[in-house]
Structure 1
Amino acid sequence: MVELEKLRALSARVGADPLLVQAAGGNTSLKEPGVMWIKASGTWLKDAAARDIFVPLDHAAIMAALARSDPACESCTDFLRTDLNATGLRPSIETTVHALMPQRVVVHVHCVNTIAWAIRADAEQRLAERLHEFSWIFIPYARPGLPLAGAISARLRPGVDVLVLGNHGLVVAADTVEEADALLARVVAAVARPVRSAALVDHAALAILCTGKPYRPAAMEETHALATDPLALRRGKASVFYPDHVVFLGVGVATSFAGDPPLVAIPGVGVVIRDDAKSAIEPMGRCLADVMRRVEEQDELVALTAEDVDRLVNWDAEKYRQTLKVN
């Protein structure tokens, strides 16, 4: 399947860009006659060229189930085509988003620049100024799974190939991998936002703070901006603005070692990561720093509510994703 191989290559490239995908976030898919191939839950897109991360599903069965609001659409495991691939992995938690788009190729990313717009109170209005040349729609925040599928169905119209998901990310769709790749690049360029310069990191102070503790300084310089950029820390330390933040980091950001959190942002100094933290932790910390460096003081932001957070952390599909070692 030539097109699936092309999708693997695109997925690996997109997955290696921290401004588009962080850790196990994001997903891609391809519809072929009788089957839809989609990234497996908890796998990393950057690994797409090196390992088998795609699982096959019965696309027609998913669409029929969505039409009757079947609870099986929450996990979509009932629709796996084990005759084609028996990896034992579950399909992406956002399978229904891909199934609803009529195009053959769908790419969903947690684009940092898109999120910086999508968490604003005036997101739809401001994005309209930048995406007027695209056939796009804005989808207000809804929990992935059936709630998000319902929100998309209510707004989707013929010809739409770009979705901006409020407090979540970006979806582009096309009939070939090359077209999806080109569309993604055009949209990402259109939503680019200025980035505040990050303050210098005090590596010597971080080393002293980690002495005798099971912590190490964050590896990526960009991650430290979560602690050295006052606005980023003030805005990010107590709120949750998109799903993967709460799934991996919990609510807000820890600023002390109390309770042994997986990530600590030490104000004015830098960020440290617990030695036994999952590999997803630092990418998620950097993502928050990257998003918040694209937000200005006057921007009115909309955080997820306590109810939104509760629905995410108690969702069976997310509990499964958390158990995977690839996280």
Structure 2
Amino acid sequence: MASSLAAALAPLAALSARLGANRDLVQGAGGNTSLKRGDRELWVKASGTWLSAAERQPIFVGLDLPEVLRRLKADEAEPALPALLDPAGTLRPSIETTLHALLPHRVVLHVHSVNALAFAPRADGEALVAERLGGLRWAWIPYAKPGLPLTRAVQARLGGAPDILVLGNHGLVVGGSSPEEAAARLDAVERRLATPARAAAPADLPLLERLAGLSGGRYRPAQLTEAHAAATDPASFGMAARGALYPDHVVFLGPAPIPTLSAAQAAEWLRQPPEPAPALLLVAGAGALLRAGLGAGAEEMAACLGLVLPRLDPAAPLTVLSPAQEAELLDWDAEKYRQSLNTAKP
């Protein structure tokens, strides 16, 4: 049994690792994948694990698929955890497990594609995506809190049997009959949504190091090169303080707004940062500083911001998460659990 399960999961693990290694699609612990094994089992990425590790360590958990669907239909508060095939295991199923169970496809891929995120926060995003995805079976899903609320939002729009879901202020979901078909569909959508990024100057690392030194060790330069574009591209810098564009930004970098300061302002600010100290600080023309002690999850989300903002039109009508939407993410035990698994140093 164990060997047959491993063989069934191997293609999904290989695909998951490939997706997880591509920061344009997945950042850190974001994203999730799943496989339905017959009509009885759902194997889904565990919450807080990294898709990039799928071939190095076990990241999938099994659930009784009919039981998840029964509990979902009965509108029970927690459809997934009680349906675990191995309730004594140490891994929890993805927050998005009910979405994977609901969709009819054998394989489901959920990514935080930076190309999709060039449209997902826009008030006119649905109309723009429609121009690009014409001829495909797709649906636009307005923002809903991840987990069961998102599943209900998708459930309300499943007419037409879409293979592709563009999630407002969130990301992209595709399904297929096999890992190969799902991957090909994802590649096709990515080509259609491809949005070039504005060129950004490199980070001024000597200046960032000097500024970090003023903080008494409370801040350090972001380690991932992509993060700095949010500050060195003037248009991106101008948009950064508008608000959080997607849930994982809030989960790993905290609530909006991001401080966006000139070098002179940052020098003064860093001598006495406010409490609680923001996770991320953008210094105009120089780059990104992160609060010391933050782990790999924060690094990845700072990089995500530096990938998304240069793909957004500065004149675009953006929809950001409200303070209430941010609060429901930060006060949610499921996200606190995911945060706890991503505190390791990058």
- How far, CA to CA, are the matches of 1:321 and 1:222 in structure 2? 23
Q: What is the match of residue 243 of structure 2?
A: 239
Equivalent position amino acid for 2:140 in 1: F
- How far, CA to CA, are the matches of 1:184 and 1:24 in structure 2? 19
Change (3 A) 1:42 1:326: farther
C-alpha contact (below 8 Å) 1:43/1:53 kept by paired residues? yes
Cα RMSD, aligned residues only:
1.6
Q: What is the match of residue 19 of structure 1?
A: 24
Tell me the CA shift for residue 221 of structure 1: 2.1
Task: Give per-residue Cα distances to partners, 1:47-94, cap 9 Å, x unaligned.
Answer: 111000100001111111111211013xx21111017xx531110001
- How far, CA to CA, are the matches of 2:294 and 2:193 in structure 1? 32
C-alpha contact (below 8 Å) 2:140/2:166 kept by paired residues? yes
Tell me the CA shift for residue 235 of structure 1: 1.6
Q: What is the match of residue 254 of structure 1?
A: 259
- How far, CA to CA, are the matches of 2:231 and 2:13 in structure 1? 35
Tell me the CA shift for residue 269 of structure 1: 1.0
Q: Does 1:176 align with 2:178?
A: yes
Tell me the CA shift for residue 245 of structure 1: 0.6
C-alpha contact (below 8 Å) 1:43/1:326 kept by paired residues? no
Q: What is the match of residue 106 of structure 1?
A: 108
Equivalent position amino acid for 2:226 in 1: E
Q: What is the match of residue 320 of structure 1?
A: 337
SS at structure 1 position matched to 2:169: coil
Equivalent position amino acid for 1:308 in 2: Q
User: TM-score normalized by structure 1?
Assistant: 0.94
SS at structure 1 position matched to 2:139: strand
How do residues 114-129 of structure 1 correspond to structure 2 at under 5 angstroms?
114-129=116-131
Q: What is the match of residue 70 of structure 2?
A: 64
C-alpha contact (below 8 Å) 1:27/1:39 kept by paired residues? yes
Tell me the CA shift for residue 200 of structure 1: 2.8
Equivalent position amino acid for 2:81 in 1: T
The alignment of Structure 1 onto Structure 2 pairs a total of residues equal to: 323
Change (3 A) 1:261 1:303: closer
C-alpha contact (below 8 Å) 1:3/1:176 kept by paired residues? no
Q: What is the match of residue 138 of structure 1?
A: 140
Aligned mate of 2:36, from 6, 20, 31: 31
Q: What is the match of residue 210 of structure 1?
A: 212
C-alpha contact (below 8 Å) 1:44/1:326 kept by paired residues? no
Gaps of 5+ in 1: none
Q: What is the match of residue 293 of structure 2?
A: 276
Equivalent position amino acid for 1:64 in 2: R
SS at structure 2 position matched to 1:239: coil
Q: What is the match of residue 228 of structure 1?
A: 232
Q: Does 1:44 align with 2:61?
A: no
- How far, CA to CA, are the matches of 1:237 and 1:272 in structure 2? 15
C-alpha contact (below 8 Å) 1:106/1:173 kept by paired residues? yes
Gaps of 5+ in 2: 261-268
